[in-house]
Amino acid sequence: MPKKFYITTPVYYVNDAPHIGHTYTTVAADVLARWHRSIGEETFFLTGTDEHGAKIEEKARGLKLEPKKYADEIAEKFKEAWRQLNISNDNFLRTTDPAHIKAVEKALQSMYDKGDVYLGKYQGLYCRGCEQYKNERDLADGLCPDHKVAPEKMSEECYNFKLSKYQDELLKLIKKDKLKILPLNRKNEIVSFFETEGLEDVSFSRKNVGWGIPIPWDKSHTVYVWADAFLNYLTGLGWDGTTPLTRGAGGLDFWPPTVQLMSKDILRVHATIWPAMLLSLDLPLPQAIFVHGYFQINGQKMSKSLGNVIAPGDLIKKYGVDASRYLIMSAAVFGHDGDIGWGKFDEKYNADLANGLGNLVARASSLIGKNRLELRLKIDSDKKLIKKYKELMEDYKFNEALKLLWRKLKESDETLSETKPWKLEDKREIKNIIEPVAQNILNVVNLLKPFMPSVSEKIIQQFTAKKIVKGEALFPRI
């Protein structure tokens, strides 16, 4: 039986079009999905949109649109962005899909029947940007640190979820890496949160938010948007809301997720409410959560609410699809924040792609073409390189994996600059220099496929053709 690999991104809010922060998570998930497919694992890659709740309702009403109509428009923008970026997701789940809604109703009902959801009251603060209940200690100068607005005071009847009941069990599972939180500093953060603050019950319904899934046993409430959204990870595989999960049915074979990607803004809810819901539903927990850092511009998190975003479409227009994917994945250490900006992208594009990969491929192929050299090249011949690359990929060290490949390209560049084969006459001599260079290019681009699928394929075709010739410039200089 081939190994199974199930990877998810968060379902993104449709309060605005996608920016390259969302793109970062989605491209990283795509790189992993493509890589796991390439090593023969049965892979399922899920992404989608989170469409209910007060934030979306407010945004839609402000535009004088019905929330669903508004959500349709933005969901389409997400789909289109991922299509453009060549994202290989197996499903795109919208939380307004009727099948998802039905499953959420069933899941909530079974948690209620079990006694894990009970009628109570919430009195406190709420940040609509986060769609989260807040404590004073979560705020900085009275403001939500992520959204820079004062949370609203709320007091309403609601159905609470017994999160506190699962505190001890969850902490044990996290400590023992049964639910692995990566990188390690994030795990430590969560463990310390459990130990110092602990889990309080959380409101799972809203009385004054109409744009949501009605609570099945009390239609005067709607389901809290996070409770609704988390279940996407199950419904995206075709789960119908009945527990225990029936194995063997379609995508459900993939449960539980091998890894769930996100950035730190939503780690805490993913390490508390989400796994507690699964325990309540008697379902296996995800194996791992990987938390990457923020893309920042001038030290500020890039976000829709702060209005400092770069759209994926703008990146693609300037650099092309594969180059955009490369620039995004090499912009930061995966797991750390990274400062980005047009200047940095231009520089990296010119250095690594125009003058780097592009120039090397052009020099090598033109020498081969001009001299009509017949080469014997093999894909996959550098086992040492493959081993190192694999180790880095398994550790989610994407930008280091790219650096490793670029060091190999540089070796070939140096060989050409030192030996200057374009000045030589003897074909045999030229071939002796060029053959290993071409072989190296082929080895590198074969490993580059998850990051730059089209360009890699193009170069592989070029260098495995009967007659190798110089093609069009891959990355015109900016």
User: Least distance to ligand MSP from the beta carbon of 303, Å?
Assistant: 6
Q: Which residue has the tokens 């009902």?
A: 109
Q: Is 52 a catalytic site residue?
A: no
Residues 232-251 that bind ligand MSP (CB under 6 A): 232
Question: Which of 181, 341, 340, 192 is CA-nearest to residue 267?
Answer: 181
Q: Which of 33, 174, 179, 266 binds ligand MSP (CB under 6 A)?
A: 266
- DSSP code of 285? P
Q: Is 292 a catalytic site residue?
A: no
C-alpha–C-alpha distance, residues 182 and 107, integer Å:
28
Q: Which stretch binds ligand MSP (CB under 6 A): 8-16, 245-253, 322-330, 378-386?
A: 8-16
C-alpha–C-alpha distance, residues 451 and 26, integer Å:
12
User: Least distance to ligand MSP from the beta carbon of 216, Å?
Assistant: 20
User: Least distance to ligand MSP from the beta carbon of 138, Å?
Assistant: 16
Residue 346 identity (one-letter amino acid):
D
Instruction: Tell me: does residue 335 bind ligand MSP (CB under 6 A).
Output: no
Q: Is 19 a catalytic site residue?
A: yes
Q: Which of 259, 262, 315, 445 binds ligand MSP (CB under 6 A)?
A: 262
254: its two tokens: 């993939």
Residue 203 dihedral angles phi and psi, to the nearest 5°: -70, 130
51: its two tokens: 């469409």
Instruction: Tell me: does residue 55 bind ligand MSP (CB under 6 A).
Output: no
Question: Which of 332, 365, 364 is CA-nearest to residue 348?
Answer: 332
Identity of the residue, 13 or 389, whose beta carbon is nearer to ligand MSP in the bound complex: 13
Question: Which of 202, 218, 219, 241 is CA-nearest to residue 97?
Answer: 241
Q: Which of 100, 221, 301, 325 binds ligand MSP (CB under 6 A)?
A: 301
Instruction: Tell me: does residue 12 bind ligand MSP (CB under 6 A).
Output: yes
Total binding residues toward ligand MSP, as defined by CB under 6 A: 21
Q: Is 79 a catalytic site residue?
A: no
Instruction: Tell me: does residue 50 bind ligand MSP (CB under 6 A).
Output: yes
Identity of the residue, 334 or 406, whose beta carbon is nearer to ligand MSP in the bound complex: 334
List, as one string, the DSSP characters of 181-230. EESHHHHHHHHHHHHHT----EE-EESS--SSPEETTEEEEEE-HHHHHH
**Do the Cβ atoms of 49 and 14 come closer than 8 Å?**
yes
Instruction: Tell me: does residue 340 bind ligand MSP (CB under 6 A).
Output: no
Instruction: Tell me: does residue 213 bind ligand MSP (CB under 6 A).
Output: no
Residues that bind ligand MSP (CB under 6 A): 10-13, 21-22, 24-25, 50, 229-230, 232, 262-263, 265-266, 294-295, 301-303
User: Looking at the annotation, which residues are catalytic?
Assistant: 19, 22, 127, 130, 144, 147, 301, 304
